[in-house]
Amino acid sequence: AQSVTQLGSHVSVSEGALVLLRCNYSSSVPPYLFWYVQYPNQGLQLLLKYTSAATLVKGINGFEAEFKKSETSFHLTKPSAHMSDAAEYFCAVSPEPSGSRLTFGEGTQLTVNP
């Protein structure tokens, strides 16, 4: 079964610093990968998804992720953190485009310090 592992349940950065949230996947076939963000008391919002067309994927709010097959990773980055980026971030995998489900990681809580 496909799965994702998010390294670090809590990440703390200063405002303006680089954000790096780690995600590794376990899949025997090329996966379809996603990053979602969840703000307090809200549902999840899609940040970006891996299409296999390009290894570097750009998403909303200045976030991007790089697919590295050799490392089975799909880490999320943002060059400069903003206070509004404080939220919980989830990496997720789907076995195929028409698959019925997403399998989520445990999540990483991002704190941005002034």
Partner 1 sequence: DAGVTQSPTHLIKTRGQHVTLRCSPISGHKSVSWYQQVLGQGPQFIFQYYEKEERGRGNFPDRFSARQFPNYSSELNVNALLLGDSALYLCASSPRTGPWWGYTFGSGTRLTVV
Q: What is d(CA 28, CA 32) in angstroms, rounded to the nearest whole number?
A: 12
CB of 63 to partner 1, least distance (A): 17
- Residue number, 25 or 90, with CB nearest to partner 1: 90
Measured from the Cβ of residue 92, the count of other Cβ atoms closer than 10 Å reads 23
- Residue number, 15 or 106, with CB nearest to partner 1: 106
Q: Which of 97, 111, 112, 113 binds partner 1 (CB under 8 A)?
A: 97
32-42 core/surface letters (b: 16 or more CB in 10 A; e: else): bbbbbbeeeee
Q: Which of 21, 23, 31, 105 binds partner 1 (CB under 8 A)?
A: 105
8 A C-beta contact, residue 13 and residue 111:
yes
**3-state secondary structure (DSSP) of residue 104:** strand
**3-state secondary structure (DSSP) of residue 97:** coil
CB of 9 to partner 1, least distance (A): 8
56 binds partner 1 (CB under 8 A): no
Residues that bind partner 1 (CB under 8 A): 32, 34, 41-46, 49, 90, 92, 94, 96-107
